[in-house]
Amino acid sequence: MSVSRSRRQVRLSRALGIPLTPKAVRYFEKRPYGPGEHGRARRRAESDYAVRLKEKQRLRAQYGIREAQLQRVFQEARREKGLTGESLVELLEMRLDALVLRAGFARTIAQARQDVVHRHIMVDGKIVDRPSFRVKPGQVIQVRPRSQVMVPFQVAAAGTHRDVLPEVPQYLNVELEKLTATLVRRPKRDEVPVTCDVQMVVEYYSR
């Protein structure tokens, strides 16, 4: 990640009120307020629309996806039985790049997406280079054997990223030293380490 991109992620993190990268966590500790010269000032009460918009932006940022991608998954979630907001997060969590991050093979969602795009990741023994690929329960995610000798993956296999990532969720069975993970079942919303009021997102798109 370039310096400029890293800086942008920190600014976005402070604007949204959630740390999106390990570096942003350190910045939050130093400057627990919004970016800009007015960051310390008491903010005016936000409108209902602004609150819903921010929650939607938070969800987008944590998965590093475009607006059109989020809208498509939302429409799919609406067609499912159950609560739309919970289905939305569960479907997003089954993206390949999200699971690569949760397994600890990458440090950030941007790095996980790059690993997939650069053809380092396999699903059931076949290379998949689409970060949005929907992993199904029972499928095995693995770093390609030829890529496992690369320094970033050796670092991951040593468990280094676990210091900055949430605990491995129960819907994933991870063998980190082998750089292998299996999606055991569909994630449940309350297990997904994402900060977002999903009902606000539903209300935003239903307006």
Give domain status of residue 43, yes or no: no
Residue 119 tokens, joined? 């053809």
pLDDT per residue over 71-90, tens digit each?
Answer: 999 999 999 999 999 999 99
Task: Output helix, strand, coil percentages for the chain, rounded to the nearest 5.
Answer: 50, 10, 40
Give domain status of residue 204, yes or no: no
| Distance of alpha carbon 74 from alpha carbon 16, whole angstroms | 21
Give domain status of residue 77, yes or no: no
Give domain status of residue 85, yes or no: no
User: What pLDDT does residue 140 have?
Assistant: 98
Give domain status of residue 69, yes or no: no
User: What pLDDT does residue 161 have?
Assistant: 86
- Tell me, what CATH number does 110's domain have? 3.10.290.10
Give domain status of residue 62, yes or no: no
Q: Do 107 and 181 fall within a single domain?
A: yes
| Distance of alpha carbon 30 from alpha carbon 8, whole angstroms | 17
| Distance of alpha carbon 19 from alpha carbon 11, whole angstroms | 10
Number of domains in the chain: 2
Give domain status of residue 88, yes or no: no
Q: Could you tell me if 57 and 63 are in contact, meaning their C-beta atoms sit under 8 angstroms apart?
A: no
Q: Which residues of the chain have pLDDT under 70?
A: 1-7, 9-10, 12-14, 18-44
User: What pLDDT does residue 33 have?
Assistant: 57
* Structural domain range at position 122: 95-187
pTM across the whole model: 0.84
SS3 state of residue 149: coil
Q: Do 183 and 104 fall within a single domain?
A: yes
Residue 129: partners with Cβ closer than 8 Å, 6 or more residues away: 116, 117, 118, 119, 121
